[in-house]
A and B are shown apart, each in its own frame.
Chain A
């Protein structure tokens, strides 16, 4: 397998150079991907990037692209570094016929892209990450963070805990800890959790972990001393694996430990072995490769030797995250093309596609992703979509993630006022007049 990968990589390098200079005569839908296949966060970045690349490759091979127009997917390496992410954006925004949409693949990079892409009129799809208040389409016309935000997720976790405790009123007096990556990303849920703590009367304990999170003894000693009833985690990369191991080590019950959807992949739980059994995480799509879209990826991409990763890793959580991101992006481009009746859309027209996106259950079935995720509808005002979140649980014996809940609605009583406040502050700071969506 490794031999094959190496020879394939060399073949790609050998073939890519002449192709890059001779092709690109015809119009292609240019979608840059700011990925990270190197650096400390590569184990998570790689399957995610593979899912995106394979889905676009499958569309090209099977359908000739989107509505017959080929996709020109360009990867740019960021190593999960914000500076490199910005450099990638600047280097790729004019590539081909001009970038049509970005997936920044990192909250730090998203924050930097928000003003730039808004100015350049290129939609940014920070799927389930980035700046939460970008949900307000009136202030952030080019930024989309559907199907749900970190704030949705934090409020759903509180709902789930309430349900498990026997009702939201039972949360009073409980102690909930948040172990978070000490970065813009990790700090995102704090505001919502503080509001939820006020509303439901639980005590919130905040425990920051510095990048990369290889050493967390002090954090988990505090958890051991304070004995919170539940622990939530907003982690990434090695921080997740170490946290799960440390939690098991102090005998914290895994079924009371909930990770954000970036702390819920196979990579995060496998190093802890059996100790990770029962660990929970948020999710908005299924794990596994038992969907028709995956069959098509294998048939049209891997069978012809064009796959970007290992065939047997298709269907892992982060791979599927890439697939769902690419699917929604492709559907938005398709919608934009149809609205404007063009085969050569601009970023602005793709933005319109995002704002009219309606991938319902019927459409998911057509795409070969029936039951893979929930229906999503985006509008001019609402860029966060339905905001629904489910919980999946790790079965260490079967080495499998499975949903243990349905999809919960977020607590909009808390979230919507915060979105309004935060987006209004952003508009004021940046002298933006919110647009009308009527």
Chain B
């Protein structure tokens, strides 16, 4: 029973890590209808930039002879992500206004390849052990006293994800820009007619998504070092999105939790009977099953099309 509980909690924690990536997809999709395939690469790029600012092994140190403290490094990286968002709007999205969603989607695939290559040229392909002071390893207290295993980093990730959702909720509900974002999400034309700048909104939403990518990059980078396989975590977010719905922030969280728990329980209890390594497969199967029943996901907006 104790082991089952450990499995469930580890699954929930892993799910939160997936949710962090899924949130970035949701934000952009919600505001602009673009499925940003480059979101995983955004997390990688943010992790690479942050490592460069805070380590003695990067451009920044070489140029200025000192490394930034972590908090300043995070702010500087956020600045980089805002610049990336602005460039994406300037060089990609601006030219594709009114194009089919598939065109916009394809452009984000190109963006993913470009950013990955740029990251490689600028920062190198080595594994970068990211240390921003987050705890690592199991909780000694729980392990020593109750023989119960919980990863400290994942608990922190859960807390950060909760804080992130609250911040995003406040941003969307209480700020002027947040309301403008929601207006654009509801109806582009109507938003434009009341004077909301679509371009500005796109820069803002891609910046916010860059911020979420930075958080994901920090958490995943602290777990396994910042390296190019980080871009593949986008694949972990896909079943989460299908399950939770592409347009729902709470959906990304709940979807992540369901996928996290589901895949861990399946791997441990069913895996040994069918050869193991079913985690990835199971997550997609679960998502597929949901697609059959609720194509819009758990919390997604119901698609009503007049024919």
Contacts and interface: CB of A to CB of B under 8 A. Distances in A.
B277 A221 contact: no
B277 A210 contact: yes
Interface string B219-235: 01001110111111100
Instruction: Indicate the member of B122, B220, B230, B267 with the most A CB atoms within 10 Å.
Output: B267
Contacts of A238: 127, 224-225, 227, 229
A38 B41 CA distance: 14
B124 interface: yes
Given A224-B149, A251-B143, A241 B267 contact: no
Among B3, B129, B137, B224, the most chain A Cβ lie within 10 Å of the Cβ of B224
A2 B62 contact: yes
Interface string B128-141: 01000000111000
Interface stretch (A114-122, A265-273, A277-285, A386-394): A265-273
B234 to A, nearest CB: 11
Grouping DSSP codes into helix (H, G, I), strand (E, B) and loop, the A interface class, with mixed when no group exceeds half, is: helix
A214 B279 contact: no
B19 interface: no
Given A182-B277, A210-B280, A221 B6 contact: yes
Nearest to B131: A273
Interface stretch (A39-47, A151-159, A337-345): A39-47
Interface in A222-266: 222, 224-225, 237-238, 241-242, 245, 248-251
Contacts of A222: 268
Interface in B9-60: 10-11, 13-14, 17, 58-59
Given A2-B59, A270-B129, A273-B129, A221 B227 contact: no
A40 B62 contact: no
Contact of B223 (A2, A245, A275): A245
Interface string B147-183: 0010100000000000000000000000000000000
B126 interface: yes
B137 A248 contact: yes
B102 interface: no
A37 interface: yes
A39 B236 contact: no
Given A40-B232, A242-B223, A271-B225, A46 B277 contact: no
B101 interface: no
Contact of A214 (B3, B62, B116, B224): B224
B33 to A, nearest CB: 29
A224 to B, nearest CB: 6
Interface string A141-181: 00000000000000000000000000000000000000000
Interface stretch (A53-61, A95-103, A201-209, A346-354): A201-209
A218 B264 contact: yes
Interface string A39-77: 111110010000000000000000000000000000000
Nearest to B281: A210
Contacts of B120: 38, 42
A224 B151 CA distance: 13
A6 interface: yes
B69 interface: no
B134 to A, nearest CB: 13
Interface of A: 1-3, 5-6, 9, 37-43, 46, 182, 206-210, 212, 214-215, 217-219, 221-222, 224-225, 237-238, 241-242, 245, 248-251, 267, 270-271, 273, 275
Given A43-B126, A215-B14, A237-B227, 6 more contacts: A46-B126, A207-B276, A208-B276, A221-B264, A249-B151, A251-B138
Interface of B: 3, 6-7, 10-11, 13-14, 17, 58-59, 62, 116-117, 120-122, 124-127, 129, 136-138, 143, 149, 151, 220, 223-225, 227-233, 236, 263-264, 267-268, 271, 275-277, 279-280
20 contacts: A1-B62, A2-B58, A6-B121, A43-B125, A182-B277, A212-B229, A214-B220, A215-B279, A218-B268, A224-B149, A225-B3, A237-B229, A238-B224, A241-B224, A241-B227, A245-B223, A249-B137, A251-B138, A270-B127, A271-B127
